[in-house]
Amino acid sequence: GNSVTQMEGPVTLSEEAFLTINCTYTATGYPSLFWYVQYPGEGLQLLLKATKADDKGSNKGFEATYRKETTSFHLEKGSVQVSDSAVYFCALSNAGGTSYGKLTFGQGTILTVHP
Amino acid sequence: DAGITQSPRHKVTETGTPVTLRCHQTENHRYMYWYRQDPGHGLRLIHYSYGVKDTDKGEVSDGYSVSRSKTEDFLLTLESATSSQTSVYFCAISLQGAGEQYFGPGTRLTVT
């Protein structure tokens, strides 16, 4: 079955530091890959996505590249801000058929950014 | 923001009592999902729906049932709540069932 593994957290950084959150996956076929973000007390929001190998998703300064050869989708940002403090979830979905867009999530990585 | 509401937002109940959580959407999306969020587990799918009266089980469906009698509402029922069902429950919707989902604000349920 499908599975997603994220790097252990929590991650604590100073403002303007470089961020990497590792994500690897196991899946059948050619899944779509996602990063979701959850701010305190809120539901999840889609941050970015990639639907095929070598695609790069980007949004709000965050980027992730779909690497089929290493089954990875690492999240990066060049300069984090205090407002980026949140929980980040990597997820995958098998498109089409009877998958019905079901998402498989990693366990989440807590990011705290200090001024 | 997608028009998704969940009710109640917080609930405390006793072991053995029935509980129903409601998810309501104004987006007319076909697909709806119920997840639970627990520390160290991320989000896990409980049940999902791919149309009115069309539902199926997710990976952690034991002890839960769902109903969807109209497009906008998806109900999650705990027939007899247990302490292991203490969690935060999220509803999500999707237009095309391709993985891009929009989430509600969540319901924090405590079973004592």
pLDDT tens, position by position, A38-47: 999 889 999 9
CB contact under 8 A, A46 and B102: yes
Range A78-104 average pLDDT: 88
- Chains A, B: CB pairs < 8 Å: 65
A97, pLDDT greater than 70? no
**What pLDDT, on the 0 to 100 scale, is given for residue A100?**
79
CB contact under 8 A, B45 and A101: no
A84, pLDDT greater than 90? yes
**What pLDDT, on the 0 to 100 scale, is given for residue A19?**
97
Give me chain B's average pLDDT, please: 94
Instruction: Please return the burial class of B44, using the count of CB atoms within 10 Å of its CB with bins 0-12, 13-18 and 19+.
Output: middle
CA of B57 vs chain A CAs: smallest distance (Å): 11
Nearest CB to A101; choose among B41, B43, B101: B101
A18, pLDDT greater than 80? yes
Q: What is the pLDDT of residues A40-70, one digit of tens each?
A: 988 999 999 999 999 999 999 999 999 999 9
Residue of B nearest to A33 (CA): B99
CA distance B78 to B81: 6
Q: Is A83 helix (H, G, I), strand (E, B) or coil?
A: helix
Q: Kindly indicate the confidence band of residue B2, based on its pLDDT and cuts at 50, 70 and 90.
A: low
Q: Is A93 in contact with A101 (CB distance < 8 Å)?
A: yes
Measured between beta carbons, the chain B residues lying within 8 angstroms of A44 are 43, 90, 92, 101, 103
Give me chain A's average pLDDT, please: 93
Pick A99 or B51 by higher pLDDT: B51
Residue of A nearest to B48 (CA): A102
CB contact under 8 A, A105 and B100: no
Range B97-101 average pLDDT: 79
CA-nearest of B30, B29, B27, B60 to B43 is: B60
CB contact under 8 A, B94 and A101: yes
CB contact under 8 A, A106 and B97: no
A75, pLDDT greater than 90? yes
Q: Does A99 touch chain B (CB under 8 A)?
A: yes
CB contact under 8 A, B45 and A102: yes
Length of chain B (residues)? 112
